[in-house]
Chains A and B, each alone.
Chain A
Amino acid sequence: GESVGLHLPTLSVQEGDNSIINCAYSNSASDYFIWYKQESGKGPQFIIDIRSNMDKRQGQRVTVLLNKTVKHLSLQIAATQPGDSAVYFCAEQLSGGSYIPTFGRGTSLIVHP
């Protein structure tokens, strides 16, 4: 698969602020995207996903936006909390077949109390 990149390696925010983590993907054929959160000492955990037939999907305090025109994905976290401090990865996938998901390099989110 083609590479997936993150614009900012580290993002520092104050508790209560909204956070936005960005991701660029290269494969225009990718049709499924996932955000994962990895806390220190743990494996990545699923946060939210979105398919290419959608532009926006909301979860609890998180929203994923997909802009297929510019091949850009973002994760918005509302009212960021210290427990949100982690590394966030985006993954692009092509559903069906044997396509291997490609992970971005990750963005470290640091939330200051």
Chain B
Amino acid sequence: KAGVTQTPRYLIKTRGQQVTLSCSPISGHRSVSWYQQTPGQGLQFLFEYFSETQRNKGNFPGRFSGRQFSNSRSEMNVSTLELGDSALYLCASSLKSSNEKLFFGSGTQLSVL
């Protein structure tokens, strides 16, 4: 069974731009959650989607948004990029809930210049 796939692997953007990251969960997994990982803050929860609905949201500004499609694939979008948005963005999938064992992708490394 294929693992969680995230694209692109690396991204370089400039301040003010917007970016869209993609995540394909493990087949059959319906819960997709997103995390931001930085050396200073560790793993910070962004949001969780289940059956195309946002079920939980972390403490991030409205510039961070996401969605989930009917096939459980998910995208997250960051608008008006700031330097502090530079981070590794990780997607994790699980069968039903982010409260279960999570399966992570390799992440998208975003650099904002």
A residues with CB within 8 A of B: 32, 34, 36, 41-46, 49, 89, 93-101, 103-106
A46: B residues at CB distance < 8 A: 101-103
How many residues of chain B are within 8 Å of chain A by beta carbon? 21
Q: Which parts of B70-113 form the interface with A (CB within 8 Å)?
A: 90, 92, 97-99, 101-107
In whole angstroms, how far apart are the Cα atoms of A49 and B43 in the complex?
18
Interchain CB contact under 8 A, B99 and A43: no
Instruction: Report if A95-B99 is in contact (Cβ < 8 Å); known contacts: A100-B48, A106-B42.
Output: yes
Tell me which residues across on chain B come within 8 A of A96, comparing CB atoms.
99
Taking CB atoms, residues of chain B closer than 8 Å to A103 are 35, 42-43
- The answer, yes or no, to whether B45 is at the interface (CB within 8 Å) is yes
Q: Does B15 contact A (CB under 8 A)?
A: no
- Do A100 and B90 have beta carbons less than 8 Å apart? no
Closest chain B residue, CB of each to CB of A104: B42
What is the CA–CA distance of A20 and B78 in the complex, to the nearest angstrom? Answer: 39
